[in-house]
């Protein structure tokens, strides 16, 4: 739910925003996202490797949630802050750069978030139960924010600034939820980097890409 609070609705509305508010063509937006997706696997492997090698008093996944939450929220808002005075090429460049930076930030949150499940307990049954709860909460979060986004946009004026304020509100909620995970979860499994941990982290990244 913590990630879907912003990112889930972004997947639903970002194409509409780029085409109907910014004025980009659907072909340009589709190409931009296709190019972005082609780099997802590489980014996920890099982030997964960095997570595996993280050492801190909070473990190896939780620091990513603590320090990555605010940048993730801010970068989500920046998606909608396309400068109005840019020309067509400038808007395309801004959209491409901001969207791809956000995808990197998303991976830096989503991969450790997903990997944390394997570090909370060694019990496979408990892991599977936690994963079911996590996926259920993610779907609940997606339903909530999908139905909440447009009313927020309209409440803040319905234009571009309305989108910025709406996602600023959703971003605050996302940060709060990620920090709740950080403060309430503990890594009880040894954080030693081994082949099994690396494989599991990479699998999380592959599922997200």
At 163, the pLDDT band (50, 70, 90 cuts) reads very high
Contacts of 41 (CB under 8 A, 6+ apart): 205, 206, 209
Pick the CATH number of 1-207 from 2.40.10.220, 1.10.150.20, 3.40.50.720, 1.20.1250.20: 1.20.1250.20
Q: What is the mean pLDDT of the chain?
A: 85
Give the tens place of pLDDT for each residue, 33-51. 998 888 888 999 999 999 9
Spell 143-159 as b/e; 16+ CB within 10 A means b.
ebbeebbbebbeebeee
Over 70: is that where the pLDDT of 189 sits?
yes
pLDDT of residue 207: 46
Over 70: is that where the pLDDT of 99 sits?
yes
* Cβ contact 78:102 at 8 Å: yes
pLDDT of residue 197: 47
How large is the average pLDDT for residues 48-57?
91
Over 60: is that where the pLDDT of 5 sits?
yes
At 187, the pLDDT band (50, 70, 90 cuts) reads confident
Residue 17 tokens read as: 């925003």
* Cβ contact 171:55 at 8 Å: no
Euclidean distance between CA atoms 148 and 13, whole angstroms: 12
Which position has the higher pLDDT, 5 or 103? 103
Enumerate the domain spans of the chain: 1-207
In the chain, what percentage of residues exceed pLDDT 90?
54
Burial of 76 (0-12, 13-18, 19+ CB in 10 A): buried
pLDDT of residue 1: 62
Q: What CA dihedral angle connects 106, 62, 204 and 41, to 10 degrees? A: 40
* Cβ contact 178:2 at 8 Å: yes
pLDDT of residue 202: 46
How large is the average pLDDT for residues 194-205?
46
Euclidean distance between CA atoms 136 and 53, whole angstroms: 29
pLDDT of residue 116: 84
Contacts of 162 (CB under 8 A, 6+ apart): 152, 153, 154, 155, 156
* Cβ contact 106:7 at 8 Å: yes
Which position has the higher pLDDT, 194 or 84? 84
How large is the average pLDDT for residues 124-146?
77
In this structure, is the dihedral angle defined by the CA atoms of residues 145, 182, 132 and 71, taken in order, positive or negative?
positive
- The candidate with the shortest Cα–Cα distance to 29, out of 11, 3, 42, is 11
* Cβ contact 19:32 at 8 Å: no
């Amino acid at each position: 739910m913590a990630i879907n609070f912003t990112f889930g609705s972004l997947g639903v509305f970002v194409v509409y925003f780029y085409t109907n508010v910014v004025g980009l063509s659907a072909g340009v937006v589709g190409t931009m996202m296709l190019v972005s997706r082609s780099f997802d696997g590489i980014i996920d492997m890099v982030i997964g490797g960095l997570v595996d090698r993280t050492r801190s008093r909070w473990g190896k996944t939780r620091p990513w949630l603590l320090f990555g939450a605010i940048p993730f929220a801010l970068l989500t808002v920046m998606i909608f802050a396309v400068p109005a005075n840019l020309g067509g090429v400038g808007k395309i460049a801004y959209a491409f750069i901001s969207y791809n930076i956000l995808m990197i930030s998303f991976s830096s949150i989503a991969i450790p978030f997903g990997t944390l499940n394997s570090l909370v307990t060694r019990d496979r049954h408990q892991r599977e139960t936690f994963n079911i709860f996590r996926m259920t909460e993610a779907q609940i979060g997606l339903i909530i924010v999908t139905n909440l986004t447009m009313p927020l946009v309209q409440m803040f004026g319905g234009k571009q600034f309305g989108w910025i304020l709406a996602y600023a509100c959703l971003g605050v909620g996302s940060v709060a939820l990620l920090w709740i995970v950080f403060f309430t979860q503990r890594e009880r499994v040894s954080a030693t980097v081994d082949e099994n941990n690396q494989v599991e982290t990479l699998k999380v990244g592959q599922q997200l890409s």
